Structure 1
């Protein structure tokens, strides 16, 4: 869903969103904001999901600020750096920090270029590509695929609705070609970021996103 922040209390870290569909304003807390470049402001356009609090009241979750730009900051001297004109002095802590950085860089190389790359390198969406996901998320994907094959019933009212592909991450198709379904994230009380998006009616292709529509990979359904 989309809407606009009509009230924001930055000191207390909460506000209210007016949905574009004209429904009642929704409370949201700073902990529900998934954009880290800056804090929300009154008048910001947002995309969000809905969930219920412990009292059963509807509230906004997984709030993303649209077109939020990072605030420019004046350059400043790094902590511990020597003033201009004086040579920097090494310290044991700085040496340890450099060694830790080298270790992290080496581990990153192992995960992307080394012998472990096949376990962690994602498969991009495209013709013939398929995503292999390990348990326990694979079990949740299989459950959602089974519900799609049966035609429901689905746990969320948004499941089976038209996915509009606003971010243009998927190939352009006529409206109604794509449908979205929730893949449950264990431990979360709301829909979370994982979805399966089908293409065609009946579906001829399945896409999987684990980051709330920011990236997609082709999913090969299990028999």
Structure 2
């Protein structure tokens, strides 16, 4: 996976109680499923709606894409696929919303 390019996107929504959500890819492709176990973090693994993230894509047995090795975006800006708004990327650990 070291040579696999990382994708960038914005968290569309993430349900902390159920531990899953969806990412809207920056390239405009279909939304990508994300499970809390795919989030790289030393602490509580969760995402917040609107966060800019980087991830790898794997395809499930049914052909649907899933995000793995999910981290907060560290460089560049991410454009929201839903609003077209440019959001500066954030840095640091993934932290739970309070």
Q: Between the two structures, name the one with larger relative contact order (CA 8 Å, sep ≥ 6).
A: 2
**Structure 1, residues 83-136: CA drift from partner, whole Å, max 9, x if none?**
xxxxxxxxxxxxxxxxxxxxxxxxxxxxxxxxxxxxxxxxxxxxxxxxxxxxxx
Q: Which has the higher strand share?
A: 2
Among candidates 54, 63, 73, match of residue 56 of structure 1: 63
Residue 31 of structure 1 aligns to a residue in which SS? Answer: helix
Corresponding position of 1:17: 23
Q: Which runs of 5+ in 2 are unaligned?
A: 1-6, 74-90
> Bigger radius of gyration, 1 or 2?
1
Is residue 36 of structure 1 aligned with residue 42 of structure 2? yes
Q: Which runs of 5+ in 1 are unaligned?
A: 72-223
8 Å Cα contact 1:3-1:47 kept in structure 2:
yes
- What is the total number of aligned residue pairs between the two structures? 71
Structure 1 ranges of 4+ moved more than 6 A: none
Is residue 27 of structure 1 aligned with residue 33 of structure 2? yes
Which structure 2 residues correspond to residues 79-98 of structure 1 after superposition, within 5 A? none
8 Å Cα contact 1:37-1:68 kept in structure 2:
no
TM-score normalised by L of structure 1: 0.30
Over the aligned positions, Cα root-mean-square deviation in angstroms equals: 1.8
